[in-house]
A and B are shown apart, each in its own frame.
Chain A
Amino acid sequence: MSTMPSALTSQDPKYLTNNAIRRKRLSSWFYGLCVAIAFVSVLILVVLLAAIWAQGQSRLTVDLLTRAHSELEIERSGMWPSIIGSLIVCFVCAMAALPLGIATAVFLEEFKPTSKPLRLIHGFIQLNIANLAGVPSIVYGLLGLTVFVYMFNVFGQIKVNESPGLEIMGADHYYQVMTLQPGHVVFVPQEDASVREIEITEPIEAVDNSGNRFELAVWKPGTPRPKDEATKRQTIEEGAIGGTITRRSWYYFRLPLDKSFLSGGFTLALVILPIIIIASQESLRAVSPSLREASMGIGATTWQTVRHVCLPAAIPGIMTGSILAMGRAIGEAAPILVVLGATVMKGGGPEHLMDNAITMPVLIFNWAGRQQNEFQELAAAAIIVLLVVLLILNSTAIIIRQKVQKAHN
């Protein structure tokens, strides 16, 4: 037996007690600091909500929900087109991102390769997705601008009244011609899209506003001019010039996509894709491996196992993650701003597939950046509407999560 080291025997008891007291005091101070700082976040949230409510509550009117932005009648400006626009853009985004994201997650999580080179590729894809999640959303905006809006200019640049890009369906081109009846126009179907104007000298087939086909008569100056209105409506003066006009059906589609809500939705899909993949992977990982073994042990293939065992077990988690990602998409302004532009002049929702759309965050950005007090208040009111939409989404996610947790216990 050796003797005790002096450090253990010759300690001043007074020092030990004081030291212990000091350390305990430090610890309780630290605890107090923790509590105080943790409450800072609560305070921030309360101040934020209160300030926005105070600023915007007076503008929460029916007009706000039903009317469009107006420069002339600022008082009665509203956000109806942006609500519709946000919903449609997010719908496109969900349709693109969910299948792609969940499929990728299933592939990465359930079809893990066993050979070494494939494992390296697998790890690389995994790292790549984590990195994509960190790419600023505005860079995705630029990607969307290049890939969806301009498509690297492969199909030519779209210019108003000059080049429509590569039209695939839903577009009917006409020449618009004035008839003898003042204020009445008829449309002559276009045959060669590159001819921007025609001069009509002979009777030609035409359609009127309601779509009836008829033979367009030509009146030569010097001959008697038709008198009754019905004939006048179907007659033009010789040499009348017709300019192009395009009628677009709702399924009008062309490449590149230009500044359409489809471009916006796809771009948002790029932004939330990594989020959906990561959330889906986490829910799939949470499925007990023993269930997988059981299914494989009966002789199910990997896909059958995924389809009948893993996905049903993981779907609540995937849905929660996806809803949260959709919340992110609805609130995302930067990529939409880049892709669809900052304009907010639009009366309603999109009319055809290639139509522009405005979204709530872009409208808020536009209003918040203006000097007029009315717009400042309108911005706050629009924020309240946006937050309510997000609240509804997120509480759906939380309810799903809690239901699942209950079912598990």
Chain B
Amino acid sequence: MSTAQTANTTDAQTDPPADQTLLRIKNFCSWYGDYQALHDLTLDIPRRQVTAFIGPSGCGKSTLLKWINRMNDIVPGARAKGHLSLISDSDNASKKELDILDQSVDVVALRRQIGIVFQKPNPFPKSIYDNVAFGPRLHMRTTKAELDELVEWSLQKAAVWDEVKDRLHGPALGLSGGQQQRLCIARAIAVGPEVLLMDEPCSALDPASTLAIEDLIFELRSQYTIVIVTHNMQQASRCSDRTAFFFEGRLVEAGDTTQVFTKPEKKQTDDYVRGKFG
């Protein structure tokens, strides 16, 4: 496939209203050592919506996701260029734009604002309660009662409270895969993030658990901005508002999910969503 087809990417998307934008990505490039993983991306991610990144393996969607909360910092040789900023409305009055790639950015505070859920459920080998309380204990000063309330709230939000409330102090590793993943979501929202990044959160789960997580994503949309990387076309079409299609490190097309799946502008996108490759 020639790269000429994918060269002109910026005009492919329909921008959401500017004041709705939470994450602004402009002319973004990224490298692992000498290998360029992402080429000149421009994309806006709107507030309180679910944005899905789709594309074949190795197209760079997970790389972009991990740049958003700087998880790539711990990868040797990873570097990025361009503009990637978080427009926060913490006090609602003045909008502040935070340059995520800036070296002086407090990565710890950033990751509190932008939580992440990984492909494989990775609860700590501690109790369920301690897993959820892990983040709050690091970031906040809370009384025991406040912490209890927070843990319960997070677990309820993550739709796993009813299943675990009787064994809060039992080991988290004793839960099923789907429960573990929801526990990880609860752990991520317990520190009060604005954005939730999800890196193929269902790929290690069985169909029933996948459905439960998809429902959960739909619910969480009212409070969080969610970015989800997925291989699964149906999943993207079921639970996202907007979809961005990546191919070979470039953004091919981005827009409303229904539009991308029914009337894509690019032939490549059409081929991919119809399952002709990837």
Give the docked Cα–Cα distance between A114 and B138 (Å): 25
Give the docked Cα–Cα distance between A313 and B118 (Å): 20
> Which of chain B's residues have a CB closer than 8 A to the CB of A312?
125
Give the docked Cα–Cα distance between A296 and B118 (Å): 12
In the complex formed, the residue of B with least CB distance to A308 is B134
Q: Are A300 and B135 in contact (CB under 8 A)?
A: yes
In the complex formed, the residue of A with least CB distance to B108 is A299
Give the docked Cα–Cα distance between A112 and B139 (Å): 24
8 Å CB interface, A89-122 against B = 112-114, 119
In the complex formed, the residue of B with least CB distance to A113 is B76
Q: Taking the nearest CB of chain A, how far is it from the CB of B89, in angstroms?
A: 20
Q: Are A294 and B74 in contact (CB under 8 A)?
A: no
A296-B71, A300-B135 are known contacts; what are 17 more A-B pairs with Cβ within 8 Å? A114-B76, A288-B122, A291-B122, A291-B124, A291-B125, A293-B71, A294-B118, A294-B187, A298-B111, A298-B112, A298-B115, A298-B134, A298-B138, A299-B111, A299-B135, A300-B134, A308-B134
8 Å CB interface, B56-91 against A = 69, 71, 73-78
Give the docked Cα–Cα distance between A304 and B136 (Å): 13
8 Å CB interface, B169-212 against A = 184, 187-188, 191
8 Å CB interface, A275-305 against B = 288, 290-301, 304
> Which of chain B's residues have a CB closer than 8 A to the CB of A299?
108-112, 135, 138-139, 191
Interface string of A302-335 (1 = CB under 8 A from B): 0010001100110000000000000000000000
Q: Are B111 and A297 in contact (CB under 8 A)?
A: yes
Give the docked Cα–Cα distance between A112 and B138 (Å): 23
Of B125, B184, B187, chain A has the most CB atoms within 10 Å of the CB of: B125
Give the docked Cα–Cα distance between A290 and B108 (Å): 18
Q: Taking the nearest CB of chain A, how far is it from the CB of B77, in angstroms?
A: 7
> Which of chain B's residues have a CB closer than 8 A to the CB of A301?
108
Interface string of B83-121 (1 = CB under 8 A from A): 000000000000000000000000011111001111010
> Which of chain B's residues have a CB closer than 8 A to the CB of A297?
69, 71, 111, 115-118, 188
Contact status of A294 and B138, CB under 8 A, knowing A112-B76, A114-B73, A288-B122:
no
Q: Are A294 and B184 in contact (CB under 8 A)?
A: yes
> Which of chain A's residues have a CB closer than 8 A to the CB of B120?
290
Q: Are A309 and B124 in contact (CB under 8 A)?
A: yes
Interface string of B121-151 (1 = CB under 8 A from A): 0111100000000110011000000000000
Of A113, A119, A294, A308, chain B has the most CB atoms within 10 Å of the CB of: A294
Give the docked Cα–Cα distance between A290 and B125 (Å): 12
Selected from B76, B77, B78, B187, the residue in CB contact (under 8 A) with A298 is B187
> Which of chain A's residues have a CB closer than 8 A to the CB of B138?
298-300, 304, 308
Q: Taking the nearest CB of chain B, how far is it from the CB of A46, in angstroms?
A: 41
A-B contacts counted at CB < 8 A amount to 70
Give the docked Cα–Cα distance between A304 and B78 (Å): 23
> Which of chain A's residues have a CB closer than 8 A to the CB of B118?
290, 293-294, 297
Residues of B near any A CB (own CB < 8 A): 69, 71, 73-78, 108-112, 115-118, 120, 122-125, 134-135, 138-139, 184, 187-188, 191
Q: Count residues of chain A with CB under 8 A from any CB of chain B.
A: 22
Give the docked Cα–Cα distance between A24 and B78 (Å): 54
Contact status of A300 and B124, CB under 8 A, knowing A114-B73, A119-B76:
no
> Which of chain A's residues have a CB closer than 8 A to the CB of B134?
295, 298, 300, 308
> Which of chain B's residues have a CB closer than 8 A to the CB of A313?
125
In the complex formed, the residue of A with least CB distance to B117 is A297
What are 10 inter-chain pairs, A to B, with CB distance below 8 A?
A288-B122, A292-B74, A294-B184, A294-B187, A296-B111, A297-B111, A299-B109, A304-B138, A308-B138, A313-B125
Give the docked Cα–Cα distance between A291 and B78 (Å): 21
In the complex formed, the residue of A with least CB distance to B119 is A290
In the complex formed, the residue of A with least CB distance to B116 is A297
Q: Are B122 and A294 in contact (CB under 8 A)?
A: yes
Q: Are B71 and A295 in contact (CB under 8 A)?
A: no
> Which of chain B's residues have a CB closer than 8 A to the CB of A298?
111-112, 115, 134-135, 138, 187-188, 191
Q: 5 smallest A-B Cβ distances: which pairs?
A: A299-B111, A290-B122, A299-B112, A297-B116, A298-B135
Give the docked Cα–Cα distance between A312 and B126 (Å): 10
Q: Taking the nearest CB of chain A, how far is it from the CB of B110, in angstroms?
A: 8
Q: Are A295 and B108 in contact (CB under 8 A)?
A: no
> Which of chain B's residues have a CB closer than 8 A to the CB of A119?
76
Q: Are B108 and A300 in contact (CB under 8 A)?
A: yes
> Which of chain A's residues have a CB closer than 8 A to the CB of B125?
291, 312-313
> Which of chain A's residues have a CB closer than 8 A to the CB of B117?
297
Contact status of A295 and B124, CB under 8 A, knowing A300-B138, A304-B138, A308-B134:
yes
> Which of chain B's residues have a CB closer than 8 A to the CB of A308?
134, 138
Q: Taking the nearest CB of chain B, how far is it from the CB of A118, in angstroms?
A: 10
Q: Are B122 and A296 in contact (CB under 8 A)?
A: no
Give the docked Cα–Cα distance between A112 and B77 (Å): 12
> Which of chain A's residues have a CB closer than 8 A to the CB of B108?
299-301
Give the docked Cα–Cα distance between A288 and B124 (Å): 10
Q: Taking the nearest CB of chain A, how far is it from the CB of B80, in angstroms?
A: 13
Interface string of A201-224 (1 = CB under 8 A from B): 000000000000000000000000
In the complex formed, the residue of B with least CB distance to A288 is B122
> Which of chain B's residues have a CB closer than 8 A to the CB of A290?
118, 120, 122
> Which of chain A's residues have a CB closer than 8 A to the CB of B124?
291, 294-295, 309
Give the docked Cα–Cα distance between A353 and B184 (Å): 53
> Which of chain B's residues have a CB closer than 8 A to the CB of A296?
71, 74, 111
Give the docked Cα–Cα distance between A386 and B199 (Å): 56
Of A113, A296, A299, A300, chain B has the most CB atoms within 10 Å of the CB of: A299
Give the docked Cα–Cα distance between A112 and B123 (Å): 24
Q: Taking the nearest CB of chain B, how far is it from the CB of A344, in angstroms?
A: 49
